[in-house]
Amino acid sequence: MTPAIPEQPATAAPTGRIVAVLAFAGIVVAVMQTLLVPVIAQLPALLHTSTSNATWVMTATLLAGAVATPIMGRLGDLYGKRKMLLVSLALMVLGSLIAGFTSSLIPMVVGRALQGFAMGAIPLGISIMRDELPRERLGSAMGLMSSSIGIGGALGLPGAALVAEHFDWHVLFFSAAGLGVVAMGLVLATVPESKLRTPGGFDTIGAVGLSAGLVALLLPITKGSDWGWSSGTTLGLFAAAVAILLLWGVMELRIADPLVDLRTTARRQVLLTNLASITIGVSFYAMSLVLPQLLELPTASGYGLGQSMVVAGLCMAPMGVAMMLVSPLSARITAARGPKVSLLLGMAVIAAGYAAGLGLMGAVWQVLIITTVIGAGIGFAYSALPALIIGAVDPSETGAANGLNTLMRSIGTSVSSAVIGMVLAHLTTPFAGRAVPDMAGFRLSFAIAVGAVLIGLLLAAFLPGRRDSAPAAPVARSIGEDGARADDLQALAGEAAR
C-alpha cells in the first residue's frame, strides 16, 4: 500500500494561510543565496581582506545549507517540524544580525554560515504540508514550497541590488533579519505543530560524520579553482570525503535510528529522484551565473547588454514568477499522470530553454524569454520532486528524506558553480584593462547546462511509473494523548500529489 496523507481534523488551521506562510518562510531563507550577489565584487574592500578570503563569505552559506537540510529534517521528524522550522528561522535572524553589525571577515563568515543553516526550513515546510494539508491541496502546495529555493533567489536578487545601490550594504542583513522575524511571527500564529513523530533518538555521530563528509566534498568543489584542481589540498579533501562518507554509510546501516535510512534512500524511486535533482541543481545555477554578467557587461564589449545592477536583477525575476505560476499546473499534471510525467516535462522545458539560449543572447528581451522558459521548466521539475519522494517513504521519514533531496540540489548547484566558474574564468577576452568572460564561455556554460539536464532526463525515464511506485514502510506514531498510531496511509502517491 502506497502512502498518502492522513485526514485532517476539523479544527485544522485554514490551509490557504498555512501554505502562504510556509512558502513565505521558504522564500525568505532562499533569499540568503543571492543576498550578497550585488556586492560580491566589492567584498574584499568592504571586509578589508583578500579576494580569496572574501569567497568564504559565500562558501560558508553553501556549506552550512548543505549540512543543515538533512539534519534539520531529521530533528523535525523526531521533535516537531514546526519547532525546528522556528529554530531555522531564528538562526537566520541571528546570523543576519551578526553580519549586519560587522565589517570583519570572521564574524561575517559566522553570520553567513548561520544564514545558510536556515535552508533546513524548506524540507521542513514540505513535511508540515504533508502532515497538515488535505490531499487535494497537497500537490500545488508542495510544488510551491519546493520551488521557493529558486523563487527566493530570483526575486531576492533585484531587491538586494536595489538596496545595495541606494543604501549602506549592511542594510541587506538588517532587512533579512526583519523578514526572518516576520516569518517567525507568521509561523507562530498560523502553522500548527504536527502530531506525527518518529520513534527513536537523534544520531549525533551520524550527523557529525555526514557534516564532515559533506564539508570535505563541497569545500574542494567550491574552492578548487583557487587552490588548483590538482593541488594536494584539493585531492586530499576529495579522498577524505570518499573515506568519511563510506565509513558513515557503513555506520548508518548498522544502527537502529540512523540519521538517513540508506535502505530507503536506495529504493529506485528515491535514488533516481535524488540523482536527477543533482542535474537540475546544475542547470538551475548555470543561468544565475551567466545571465547577470552578460546583462551588466558594457555594450562596448561587443556582446554585453550594458544594463545596471538593478535592471539585471529585474531581468532574472521572471524566473521566480514563472516558477510560482506553474506550480498549480504541475500539481494537476501530477494528479492526472503522476509526478514522473511532471518531472520529465520540466526537464524537457529546461533543456529547450537553454538550447534556445545558445542563440538568444543579443538583447534584453531575449534574456527575458530565456529566464521565463527555464524558470517554468524548473518550476515543473521542482514541484514534482517532493511528490516523488513522499510517494516512496513513510511519513516518519518525510523530513529527513526531503532534506536529503534538498541536499542533492545543493550539491548540483555547487558543482555548477565550480564548473561554470572555471569555464568563465578560462574563456575570457581583455576589456577595459581586465579579463571578462567572452561569448564562447557563456555559450559553453549553456551547453553544459543542456548536457546536465539531458542526463537528468535519462535518469528520470527509469523512475517507476505511477502504478509501479514502491510501497512505504511502517507508519509513524502520533503524539496524541492516546498515543495511538497515526492513520494508515491509504491513497496512491499520485492522489497524494493532487
- Domain regions of the chain by residue span: 15-202+257-496
Report d(CA 322, CA 316) in Å as an integer. 11
Predicted local confidence at residue 446, as pLDDT = 93
Grid cell at residue 378: 524548473
Q: How many CB atoms lie within 10 A of CB 142?
A: 34
Predicted local confidence at residue 473, as pLDDT = 40
First to last CA, the chain: 18
Predicted local confidence at residue 487, as pLDDT = 38
Residue in the block written with cell 551547453: 447
Grid cell at residue 94: 541571528
Report d(CA 238, CA 415) in Å as an integer. 13
Q: What is the CATH number that goes with domain 15-202+257-496? A: 1.20.1250.20
Residue 484 above 80 pLDDT? no
Strand locations in 107-151, DSSP E? Answer: none
- List C-alpha distances in Å: 213 to 242, 245, 256, 462, 496: 8, 5, 21, 29, 34
Predicted local confidence at residue 483, as pLDDT = 38
Question: What does pTM read for this prediction?
Answer: 0.78
302 vs 478, higher pLDDT: 302
pLDDT (tens digit per residue) in 337-395: 888 999 999 999 999 999 999 888 889 999 999 999 998 998 888 888 888 887 777 76
Predicted local confidence at residue 225, as pLDDT = 75
Q: Average per-residue pLDDT in the chain?
A: 81
Report d(CA 114, CA 183) in Å as an integer. 16
The H-or-E segment that residue 370 falls in is helix 364-390
Cβ contact 41:169 at 8 Å: no
Residue 187 above 70 pLDDT? yes
Predicted local confidence at residue 416, as pLDDT = 82
Report d(CA 229, CA 6) in Å as an integer. 50
High-pLDDT (> 70) share of the chain, %: 89
pLDDT (tens digit per residue) in 394-418: 766 766 777 788 788 888 887 887 7
265 vs 482, higher pLDDT: 265
Q: Which residues of 261-290 are buried (b: 16+ CB within 10 A; e: fewer)?
A: beebbebebbbbbbbbbbbbbbbbbbbbbb
